[in-house]
Chain A
Amino acid sequence: MDNLDISATETTPEIKFDFSNHHFLFGGESYPEHSDEFYRPILESIQQYSQNDSNEPATFVFKLTYFNSSSARVLMKLFELIDEMGENREINIEWHYHEEDDTMEEFGEDFSDDIENANFKLMSYSDD
């Protein structure tokens, strides 16, 4: 599969999927007017990737700093997909949040509650 490399805009996050190295990155802010439209091809590419036979460990890194409620709904679907993948291979999820940002911390906790087949790591960072 060709790598997916989408630059951030004012309202959509940076997306970098390196399929051959099994590395997936989401970074920045997400509050597009139409979240479903933006995320549809992204979810489809993960779905396609999950159907490959590979059982190499995969890593999903989230460095999101803000997202709106309709993006949250899409993220929940994404975590369902990722969790399903974890039934057949090792999946690592990193959820990065600023130490003062209790909203992103809480979202990380909420999402991690529903993850059964993957390692979910909450990782705080500071300004320094």
Chain B
Amino acid sequence: MDSIKFYELQKTLKENDIMFCYSGYVTQKILVAIGETIKKKLEVEETDLGKTKKVFSIFVEGVQNVIRYSADSIGESNELDNEVRYGIVTIGNNPEGITVRCGNLIFNKDVNRMKERVSLIEGKDKDELKKLYKKQMMEGPEEGSKGASLGFLEMARRAGYPLEFSFEEVSDDYTFFCINAII
């Protein structure tokens, strides 16, 4: 990337009120390091504790979702797999509140499964989400999911507005999956 493109990247982030951006390989260790940075940043800005906790919670679930999804593909180990271990996370401000956005590539063959999981949450109010959360806790992790499928529900419960999910097919193999939360 030449320096002009690099500058444009920074400018784009600034113009969208992104205060923090990480793009790359995600692991639990990286999650902890970024999480600490976010907490400190919000503390300095005197964000109230309840809100800071919600931002942190949504961030953790979003990134652990990317880590788990990536973990699912380990074993098939080929060049394609390396792409899905990369995620992008941004924290920003908008007029409604603080935004947390997580994105990663998923295989096109997994899009339907992901859409089904997402559809369980879309359009649900807080009470419905709470009931669903409890139900999912009792039922245990769903088939083919390495971790609790509670992650999206947790994010939905902590967000101040309904979560926005999007799927953009970017090639014959991949779809860019993105979750946007406003707290």
A residues engaging B (CB < 8 A)?
10-11, 31-33, 35, 66, 68-70, 72-73, 76, 98, 100-104, 110
Instruction: Give min CB distance, B5 to chain A, whole Å.
Output: 35
Contact residue among B48, B130, B154 (Cβ-Cβ distance under 8 Å from A110): B130
A13 to B42, CA, bound (A): 22
Chain B residues whose CB sits within 8 angstroms of the CB of A101 once the complex forms: 49-50, 53
**Interface presence of B61 (CB below 8 A):** yes
**Consensus secondary structure, chain B interface:** helix
Contact A100 B130 (CB under 8 A): no
Q: Does the CB pair B53–A69 fall under 8 Å?
A: no
Cα distance, A32 to B67, chains bound together (Å): 12
B: which residues have CB within 8 A of A?
28, 32, 36, 48-50, 53-54, 56-57, 60-61, 64, 67, 130, 134, 137-138, 140, 147-148, 150-151, 153-154, 158
Q: Is the CB of A103 within 8 A of B67?
A: no
- A sample of 12 cross-chain residue pairs with beta-carbon separation below 8 angstroms, ordered by A number, consists of A10-B32, A32-B28, A33-B64, A66-B56, A66-B57, A70-B148, A72-B148, A72-B150, A76-B137, A100-B48, A103-B53, A103-B158
In the assembly, what is the distance between CA of A17 and CA of B57, in Å?
27
